Amino acid sequence: MATVKKAIAEDSEHIRAVKKLVQERASGISSANLQETPLSNGTSWRDLNFKHPDRTVRLATAFSGIGAIEHAFQRLGIKHKIVFAGDIDEKCKKTYFANYEISETDWFSDIRQFNASSYCGSVDLLVGGAPCQAFSMVGKRLGFEDTRGTLFYEFARVIKESQPKVFIFENVKGLYNHDKGRTWSVMCDIFQEIGYHIYYRVLNSKDYGIPQHRERIFCVGFREPLAKGFEFPKPIKLQYTMYDFLEDYIDSKYFLKDKGIKFVTSHKNHEKCYTQVNGDIALCQKRNQEFNWHGDFVYHPAGHGEDFDEFVFDVRTVEEKYYLSEKVAKYVLSPGTKNFKTTVKTDLPIARPILQTMHKMHRAGVDNYVTHLGRIRKLTPRECMRLMGFKDSFKIVVSDTSAYQQAGNSIVVDCLIALLKQLDITEYGI
């Protein structure tokens, strides 16, 4: 498939026709009666098990970015095969190919030039989130007036051509109330017209295990009707703070290596009371506990364990380049000018939304900054990836600037994990 190097912002007869179509439909809606799908009041998604763990889910993505849904499948250990994926950003392609298995022939660079008809019948789940700047609260909110807004129509076309059993569409919260709800109403109508039963709701990543305030609308579409409908996964109590996702806050020499962890946490050891973890009353301290792992130990949230809901991160010294100079620190800690004022806070327990423009060094009322040993620094690309739900096994193969952009444009992996468990994606595998 030839690489097409055409900018997303490019205008064309086709794009103008799409704009006209959706604008006419939106103007025909006097008022939008939108109602979010309710949350589940049953078993928490964290406690749900996949009924068909031996099945393979055939996964396809559009506007694939760095593969949030692909990483969600990896973290859950679900068998899957990537059918097709694509993104217009060549640097995203570099990151994607470094982390996932896909053939060059199944990658497309421009969705406007991509025909998915040949994949019809071979896709179980299709996931995508068209560029959101056209609807973002931060942007000018031009909606379908912005060329990027029309790319939603291309996503709907790919759904129609590939006919997945289930699709997930994600976008900014601002899309939901854009143009008094008319924009989202048009989108819902299009999804239904191409034969899908849809459910949608705004989810916040802080309600699904990630300490980042990031609200996004998620729409789940089913080709076949569900007997009992679909409810979105209910929120869980947040167990972590942004602090737990940082790299340089605890001296790694105090963490046990694998051998020590296995001994301390073994069933036999607990029976013999050699050690205890998070005990209420300390055991008698021994002079040699440093060498034979007897005594008291504390479990840290970023400690050991590799289940999907545990965050196991390396503790590393942060490079000097991420610390701010006095001049830059003075700027980011400024509340602003007469025309722009913001509340300046650092070291937040729940991070502000990770922005794709983080490399531009916004003020501390917009971006996330942390202090360590009396100095202030920005988040590292690895920390941004962590706050988007990517484990440290995820390879960062691009520059810092590109890594910040890729993290800020991604979907939070843990929100996708909650959705995959709630709908039991293995039901749709083969």
Q: Quick one: how far is CA 319 from the chain centroid?
A: 25
Tokens at residue 36, please?
Answer: 């979010």
φ, ψ at 104 (rounded to 5°):
-60, -35
Q: Are 178 and 172 in contact (CB under 8 A)?
A: no
Beta strand segments in 115-213, E: 125-128, 166-172, 197-204
The residue length of the chain stands at: 430
User: How many beta carbons lie within 10 A of that of residue 121, not counting itself?
Assistant: 10
β-bridge mates for residue 199, sequence order = 220
CA distances from 153 to 115, 195, 318, 391 (A): 13, 15, 43, 33
Amino acid letter, residue 421: K
**Could you tell me the two tokens for 401?**
């600037």
Is 132 a catalytic site residue? Answer: yes
CA 110 to chain centre: 22
Burial readout 69-103 (b: 16 or more C-beta within 10 A, e: otherwise):
bbbbbbbbebebbbbbbbbbbebbbebbeebbebe
Tokens 């000097």 -> residue = 320
Q: How many CB atoms lie within 10 A of CB 418?
A: 27
391 contacts 383 by C-beta, under 8 angstroms: no
Dihedral in degrees, nearest 10, Cα atoms 371, 350, 212, 352: -60
Query: Tokens standing for 52?
Result: 């068909």
d(CA 332, CA 344): 8
Pairing of strands 197-204, 125-128: unpaired
From the candidates 92, 132, 188, 384, give the one annotated as an active-site residue. 132
Burial string for 217-255 (b: 16+ CB within 10 Å, else e) reads bbbbbbeeeeeeebbbbbbeeeebebebbbbbeeeeeee
The residues carrying an active-site annotation are 132
